[in-house]
Structure 1
Amino acid sequence: MMPIRIHAMLAFAIVLLASAANVSAQGRPPPPAVVVAKVSAQAISDPDRFSGIVEAIQEVDIIARVQGFIDEIAFEAGDQVSGGDVLFRIESALYAAAVAGAEARLAQAEAQLLNANQELSRQQSLREREVAAQSTLEAAVAAQAVARAGVEIAVASLEKARIELSYVEIVAPFAGEIGRELFSRGALVGPTSGPLARLVNTDPVRVVFSISDRVLLDIRREIANGNVPDVVFRLDLANGEIYSEPARIEFIANEADPVTATVPVRLIVKNSDRLLIPGQFVDVVVGPADPPVLPVVPQTAVLQDRDGRYVYVLGENDTVAQRRIEVDSLVQGGWAVTGGLEAGEVVVVQGLQRLFDGVTVTPGAAARKGD
């Protein structure tokens, strides 16, 4: 009986142990689920922003220099024109006739001068033989001078007529974009009629803004030391787009505004794609040319206690380790880290409530370490 009783007790103990082990296995909580993200590396800068306005470097009102009816408009509004291109033609008949008349008057004056020269030559010959009076010779000399002056007047009149004839073709003084015509074909225009159109050169353009004297002081100090200032000027457009072309300084005013503590600055910017137009407002961003590159950790990953800031870093076998970090500033994307963390490491960004150093977690599959 004794062996049977012992065997029964052993069997009962084994059943109890197995049952307890099963209960223990069922009661152990699963590893907490977390969301993780890689630490990125970003160029960190804290740029200054100023409001600027775009101006054309060259702009002019096209005005008629002679009076007449518009015979031709040789452009479409918005055309890109080259310097010397004809924009308007004014009827030329009157001015061509004026040139022809001036040419005839010049021929007449030259004939009169020829006659005066011949008469003077005769009077000189007669005077040498003491046949003509001295007064007659002097009159011939004066007549030659008058005839010579008449030729000079005729030459000037012809030149004036030719210039006025050339003005019937109104040309672009420089390359640029021509606006809409303000007079139609057949309209009578002249020097007092006002602008016929407006021509603007928009490549490159000028951006005018006022920079704080604090930022300008740093730039001037670099220039005074013989260095190229470690700054770049960038334009941000109204839709948030960053303009692709860099800007360079054209002019810095020699006086500051004592009320605003700013100094007017002019930049030159290429504008081959014509995105910038005169009168447009832009943000001028002034920042370092070579900003430092630092790890950036999402803001939601950073916790803080009385000892400072820390994160949970995902390690081997999906365990997390608490890591103390040093941060610089908040940037787009999170905290810029100056110590304690490297770019490429993986940190927990969600599910931080139940974490402690060394705990095993179930990280989000989409952002596991090494992805």
Structure 2
Amino acid sequence: MTLNSGRGLLAALGLLAMAGSLPTFAIAQQAGQEGTPQAVPVVVAPVEMRPVAGALDVVGKISAIDRVDIQARVEGFLQDVSFEEGGTVAEGDVLFRIEPDEFEAAVTQAQGQLDAAVAQQSLAQVQLDRAQQLLDKKVDSQMTRDQAKAAYDSAVAEVKVSEGALRSAQINLGYTTITAPVAGVVGRAAITKGNVVGPASGPLTTIVSQDPIHALFQISETDFRNLRDRASADPDNVKVTVGFSDGTEYDQTGSIDFIDATVNQSTDTILGRAQFPNADGVLRDGQLVRVKLESGTPEERALVAQGAIIADQGGLYVFVVEDGKAARRTIKIGNTVDTDVVVRDGLAEGDMVIIDGLERVRPGAPVLAQPAPDAASSGQIPAAETEADAAPAAADDKG
């Protein structure tokens, strides 16, 4: 083998070695790219400072001022159901009619018995007068006069008994027409026409008053004292509102009209009650609501969107954007204000809180922060926290 041919062989072997190493280099380079954290797109909003009055949120329950179970007071066949289920009724409106024939007959019978008793009383009166005259003339004995007096007294008593029986029969006849004792919304009829009803039948329906209506709530003894201090011990200085489970609020304001005189020893809470106008019937008896009690002079408070708050065993926290990365912040919260929550500790004004895209966010992960539409339009999002500045952070991680 010549020198030139040896050199050619070495060169060929070198090319083969380089060719064999190229796939390995490409695989390593691809693996490095796949291991680079990808920036997560998120939506952010700044922590805002807004004037907020001292407020307390508690769970409450709507309670009708009047709630009446309608029951039959006499037994008989149900002749008519005279209301629309779920509709409104006025006081005195007819709800049910029980077949009255038997009760009308009882009234007629009682009236006849009374007439007979009155006639017997008249006869006894005549006999007593005659016996007295004969006694005065010494024609008859004292015993005869006394017997006439006793017969008269018995006849008077019999008239009273008959009057009572007639009155009872008339009352029972009146009970065959069942009317609404209060105005309000009537429930469904528990028993239908044609059935036998009576005092043992249970409620035939229920009426609950609608306007105004009460909201009952329990407040801790400590919160009650704080509320009194802020309101200068005057319930009229407390603004009361209610919110629903979907986050919306009732558009009418209520006022406190009752605070219990004692503290519940088992829960260390005090029962309170507020009254609300309810002409449209939005609030319903038994409905669970969120009761907000506001009092005192409004103070500047940090607010964050409710949807940004996460809860775990360690407590409540949010993610904020710092240098293009997500950072976890533990917070303490206060009352709610519309769709936001007062943050008492853990955040400062201007902190960029992640409010959307949280499902893929991890502490320290690079993010592509985009402003919430309302925040972007108001110019509240600093340029350093937007998508344009999150990309370099991701690039640094690649390096």
Q: Using structure 2 for the length normalisation, give the TM-score.
A: 0.63
CA gap 1:226/1:235 in 2 versus in 1, 3 angstroms:
closer
On the 8 A contact 1:95/1:165 being kept in 2, the answer is: yes
Q: Which amino acid aligns with 1:280?
A: Q
On the 8 A contact 1:81/1:176 being kept in 2, the answer is: yes
Alignment match, 1:132:
140
Alignment match, 2:257:
250
Alignment match, 1:48:
56
CA gap 1:179/1:294 in 2 versus in 1, 3 angstroms:
closer
On the 8 A contact 2:230/2:295 being kept in 1, the answer is: no
Of the candidates 267, 276, 279, which is equivalent to residue 283 of structure 2? 276
Alignment match, 1:161:
169
Alignment match, 1:116:
124
SS of the aligned residue for 1:275 comes to coil
On the 8 A contact 1:297/1:336 being kept in 2, the answer is: no
Of the candidates 102, 106, 113, which is equivalent to residue 105 of structure 1? 113
State the distance in 1 between where 2:304 and 2:217 align.
35
CA gap 1:228/1:83 in 2 versus in 1, 3 angstroms:
closer
**Structure 1 vs Structure 2 CA RMSD:** 3.5
Q: 1:127-155 CA deviation, whole Å, 9 max, x = no partner?
A: 11111122111111111101111111111
On the 8 A contact 2:87/2:186 being kept in 1, the answer is: yes
CA gap 1:348/1:220 in 2 versus in 1, 3 angstroms:
closer
Alignment match, 1:317:
none
Alignment match, 2:19:
none
Structure 2 unmatched runs, 5+:
1-44, 306-320, 324-341, 351-377, 387-399
Q: Using structure 1 for the length normalisation, give the TM-score.
A: 0.67
Deviation at 1:348, TM superposition (A): 5.9
State the distance in 2 between where 1:54 and 1:209 align.
9
CA gap 1:158/1:348 in 2 versus in 1, 3 angstroms:
closer
Q: Which amino acid aligns with 1:349?
A: I
Deviation at 1:251, TM superposition (A): 2.2
Give the structure with the larger helix fraction.
2
On the 8 A contact 1:297/1:335 being kept in 2, the answer is: no
Q: Which amino acid aligns with 1:256?
A: V
CA gap 1:211/1:120 in 2 versus in 1, 3 angstroms:
same
Alignment match, 2:184:
176
On the 8 A contact 2:89/2:186 being kept in 1, the answer is: yes
On the 8 A contact 1:42/1:293 being kept in 2, the answer is: yes
Alignment match, 1:141:
149
1:60 aligns with 2:60: no
Deviation at 1:229, TM superposition (A): 6.0
Alignment match, 2:198:
190
On the 8 A contact 2:228/2:234 being kept in 1, the answer is: no
CA gap 1:257/1:133 in 2 versus in 1, 3 angstroms:
closer
State the distance in 1 between where 2:50 and 2:99 align.
66
SS of the aligned residue for 1:96 comes to helix
Identity %: 33
State the distance in 1 between where 2:283 and 2:271 align.
20
Q: 1:183-210 CA deviation, whole Å, 9 max, x = no partner?
A: 1111101111111111111222222221
State the distance in 2 between where 1:147 and 1:220 align.
69
CA gap 1:181/1:258 in 2 versus in 1, 3 angstroms:
closer
SS of the aligned residue for 2:199 comes to coil
On the 8 A contact 1:179/1:198 being kept in 2, the answer is: yes
State the distance in 2 between where 1:228 and 1:63 align.
38
Instruction: Figure out how many residues of one structure are paired with residues of the other and give that number.
Output: 283
Q: 1:11-46 CA deviation, whole Å, 9 max, x = no partner?
A: xxxxxxxxxxxxxxxxxxxxxxxxxx9xx9954345
Alignment match, 1:349:
381
Alignment match, 2:226:
218
State the distance in 2 between where 1:49 and 1:246 align.
15
Deviation at 1:47, TM superposition (A): 2.7
State the distance in 2 between where 1:273 and 1:102 align.
49
State the distance in 2 between where 1:145 and 1:271 align.
60
Structure 1 unmatched runs, 5+:
1-36, 305-328, 338-345, 355-371
1:288 aligns with 2:295: yes
State the distance in 1 between where 2:135 and 2:82 align.
65
